[in-house]
């Protein structure tokens, strides 16, 4: 059996090695490292895949979130609502821009923002909502967009973990994750479903004026060279990363399907145990399984992680601490209002999930989880 990895990037690379190597060599020979033709081609191909008129590549997913907020001209002290149960980048950029993060609870089953708690958190200072499409499926965007329209709020989708997921609205229309709000953002960190071999990100928009502004912000606030119309940043996707992403984008749907098949195997093996809750697949969203995250109900989650480690099975806890209780972002809160987040912190564990898992590995992992759970029951 191959060594089990949380994400097996090497095996995935070997399957596309000739194409990727040749493409990267071509970039090296061209010396068009910044804003070269590969970046423009990738931008256009991603626009086609997402069915969105504007993709603006940038340096990483965190930059994408920051630039999206900068483009909305928010003022110091304005409030941005997001989920308490997510990676810190989402709240990090809110603080960097001297905005106020309002952290609310998530749905216990889908791990995405609780729309009732979202509505309750809106104040006259609220200007934006950042729903996070956590672990690979969309937040309840139809309800979120209705709330945003009622209160005249911007919606900035954090799509770092769910690129390629489809969301179906009640009228039957289908949109790709990241293309439904005012702005969408994503990350091309190597472990993502669409990952490069360094770092990268992108911003999506249907709004021509907004896209124009974002293109200036990512390039030092310039719309004409050496004329700086506003404060910007230096955040670019380089040509080497773009050429890798061009080779991977046509494979994204098959990559996501491979992850779903691995998730199906886990579901079948683990769903019958009374102390395990398998991931809930939302009714309105497909799931691309950036993570496969169980909930362990017997209070032995950490012991399970240690047991798996002894069997050379990696497992991760995403996330061990609520954002509102992190030292950098601490805020007073009523724990009764965020009880799902606090419960999930004690229960969640993510198993290996990637495109290269085979049945032998999946059975070994599942058997190990059940072995531990049956010992403890």
pLDDT at position 376 is 73
Among 250, 284, 302, identify where a domain stops: 250
My answer on whether 79 and 112 are in the same domain is yes
Cβ atoms 93, 325 nearer than 8 A: no
| Structural domain range at position 88 | 9-250
My answer on whether 363 and 264 are in the same domain is yes
Task: Report the alpha-carbon angle 8-308-322, nearest 5.
Answer: 85
Residue 295: beta bridge partners? 277, 348
Among 215, 250, 285, identify where a domain stops: 250
pLDDT at position 377 is 67
My answer on whether 279 and 137 are in the same domain is no
Domain assignment of residue 1, yes or no: no
My answer on whether 195 and 67 are in the same domain is yes
pLDDT at position 335 is 87
My answer on whether 308 and 193 are in the same domain is no
My answer on whether 206 and 349 are in the same domain is no
224: enclosing H helix or E strand: strand 222-224
Task: Report the alpha-carbon angle 358-363-366, nearest 5.
Answer: 125
CATH number of residue 25's parent domain = 3.40.640.10
My answer on whether 143 and 269 are in the same domain is no
Among 250, 275, 296, identify where a domain stops: 250
pLDDT tens, N- to C-terminus, the chain (377 residues): 999 999 999 999 999 999 999 999 999 999 999 999 999 999 999 999 999 999 999 999 999 999 999 999 999 999 999 999 999 999 999 999 999 999 999 999 999 999 999 999 999 999 999 999 999 999 999 999 999 999 999 999 999 999 999 999 999 999 999 999 999 999 999 999 999 999 999 999 999 999 999 999 999 999 999 999 999 999 999 999 999 999 999 999 999 999 999 999 999 999 999 999 999 999 999 999 999 999 999 999 999 999 999 999 999 999 999 999 999 999 988 889 999 999 999 999 999 999 999 999 999 999 999 999 999 76
Strands 126-130 and 100-104, how do they pair? unpaired
My answer on whether 44 and 152 are in the same domain is yes
Q: How many domains does the chain have?
A: 2
Angstrom CA distances, 244 to 21, 25, 31, 50, 291, stand at 9, 11, 16, 18, 22
Q: What is the pTM of this model?
A: 0.97
């Amino acid at each position: 059996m191959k060594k089990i990895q949380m994400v097996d990037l090497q095996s995935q690379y070997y399957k596309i090695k000739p194409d990727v190597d040749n493409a990267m060599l071509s970039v090296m020979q061209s010396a068009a490292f910044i804003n070269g033709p590969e970046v423009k081609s990738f931008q256009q191909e991603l626009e086609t895949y997402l069915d969105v008129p504007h993709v603006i590549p940038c340096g990483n997913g965190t930059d994408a979130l920051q630039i999206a907020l900068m483009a909305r001209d928010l003022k110091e002290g304005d409030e941005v609502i997001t989920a308490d149960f997510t990676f810190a980048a989402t709240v990090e950029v809110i603080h960097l821009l001297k905005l106020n993060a309002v952290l609310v609870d998530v749905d216990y089953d889908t791990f995405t923002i609780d729309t009732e708690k979202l509505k309750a958190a809106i104040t006259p200072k609220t200007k934006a909502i950042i729903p996070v499409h956590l672990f690979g499926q969309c937040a309840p965007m139809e309800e979120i967009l209705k709330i945003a329209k009622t209160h005249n709020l911007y919606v900035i989708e954090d799509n770092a973990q769910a690129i390629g997921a489809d969301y179906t609205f009640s009228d039957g229309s289908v949109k790709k994750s990241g293309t439904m709000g005012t702005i969408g953002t994503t990350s091309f960190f190597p472990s993502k479903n669409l990952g490069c071999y360094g770092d990268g990100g992108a911003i999506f928009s249907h709004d021509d004026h907004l896209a124009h502004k974002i293109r200036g912000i990512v390039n030092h606030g310039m719309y004409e060279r050496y004329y700086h119309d506003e404060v910007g940043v230096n955040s670019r996707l380089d040509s080497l990363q773009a050429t890798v992403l061009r080779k991977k984008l046509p494979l994204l749907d098959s990559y996501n399907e491979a992850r779903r098949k691995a998730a199906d195997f886990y579901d079948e093996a683990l769903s019958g145990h009374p102390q395990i809750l398998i991931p809930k697949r939302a009714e309105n969203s497909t799931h691309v399984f950036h993570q496969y995250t169980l909930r362990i109900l017997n209070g032995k989650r950490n012991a399970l992680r240690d047991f798996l480690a002894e069997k050379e099975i990696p497992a991760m806890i995403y996330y061990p601490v609520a954002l509102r209780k992190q030292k950098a972002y601490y805020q007073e809160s009523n724990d009764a209002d965020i009880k799902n987040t606090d419960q999930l912190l004690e229960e969640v564990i993510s198993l290996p999930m990637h495109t290269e898992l085979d049945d032998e590995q999946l059975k070994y992992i599942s058997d190990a989880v059940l072995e531990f759970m049956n010992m403890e029951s």
